[in-house]
Amino acid sequence: MTRKGSGGHGGNANAYGEDSIAEGGSGGNAVIGNGGDGGNATAAADRSHAIGGKGGRGGIGPGGKGGDAHVFPDGTLLEDCFSEDEPGHLVVRPNDTYITINGKIIALARGGQNGEEGGRGGDGYVVGNDSFSAGGQGGEAMQPDGRGGRGGRAFMSDEFAKRFGIEQKSHMRWPYYEPITEPGRGGDAPDTPQYKARRLIVEQIKKKYFTHKGFPLDKVWWDREVVPIAWINEQLEHEGHLWRTIIVDDEYEFSDLDQQ
């Protein structure tokens, strides 16, 4: 019997500023490995809002921890967070993105760290009242059927996405051979050759269905509802494949017939 891990812990939330809101990130779901813990959130400035990143989904190993989110009333507390060499000295790493005013850093995004399991979500640091900060989602661990873990997503409100014309998609793996264009998203880990071959077979079956119905083919990869999963499995049986598929957490999961 395969052991199942535990879901990640929710992140801590501390709201110190007046009329401020802090939301700890939710823990990731477990598979065999544990789900990643949610990111912590600190809203120390007035009328500020901080949201910790969601923990990554577990797989063979654990999911990545969600990124932390902080809003500080002034730059002193921000510099304390990065005083790695000496007190009062802000150390900026190569993968940091930041904004300065008059030579002072007022906002900094620290990219997530890579690891053998799901990568850690990026952290967000902002200075000043009436500010917002959000941590990135932790990366997903590699899955038992050979699918590589999906990169964590950046927080994006529906209002922001609509204003800038960004299509909100579910947390799905990006199409093969296409660059990831979703703002702030981490990279997907590679699939095993077997998983990739099976996924491409499923995509060809879905294209047949879309073509028969007269639907645009550019939506095939992202579809999880138009083509019935039972119809896909019927086609797999008709073509003589000894494996079947189901959809788990918006992704195709494959298993051999002798394992069902």
Cα–Cα distance list, 67 to 154, 155, 251, 257 (Å): 10, 10, 23, 39
pLDDT confidence bin for 181, thresholds 50/70/90 = confident
pLDDT at residue 154, as a whole number:
83
The answer, as to whether pTM is greater than 0.75, is: yes
Residue 55: pLDDT band (50, 70, 90) is very high
pLDDT in tens, 27-43: 999 999 999 999 999 99
pLDDT-derived band at 116 (thresholds 50, 70, 90) equals: very low
Percent of the chain with pLDDT over 90: 60
117-144 mean pLDDT: 88
Show me where the domains of the chain are located.
1-189, 193-259
The pLDDT, as a whole number, for residue 144 is: 93
Which helix (H) or strand (E) segment holds residue 199: the answer is helix 193-213
pLDDT at 34: 94
- Is the pLDDT score of 1 beyond 50? no
Burial tier of 144 (Cβ tally within 10 Å: 0-12, 13-18, 19+)? middle
Confidence of residue 109 (pLDDT cuts 50, 70, 90): low
pLDDT at 115: 43
Mean pLDDT score across all residues of the chain: 85
User: CA 134 → CA 3, 21, 108, 143, 230, distances in Å?
Assistant: 33, 12, 11, 27, 39
205-247 pLDDT tens trace: 999 999 999 999 999 999 999 999 999 999 999 999 999 999 9
CB 55 within 8 A of CB 138: yes
Could you report the per-residue pLDDT of 68-86, keeping only the tens digit for each? 999 998 877 666 666 555 5
Q: Which whole-number Å values give the CA distances from 222 to 35, 58, 67, 180, in the listed order?
A: 25, 22, 27, 14
Task: Please give the pLDDT value at position 147.
Answer: 95
Tokens of 164: 């800038």
What is the rounded distance in angstroms from the CA atom of residue 86 to the CA atom of residue 84? 6
What pLDDT score does 87 carry?
47
Residue with tokens 């110190």: 16
Q: pLDDT at residue 99 above 90?
A: no
Reported confidence tier of residue 121, pLDDT bands at 50, 70, 90: confident
The pLDDT of residue 74 is 81
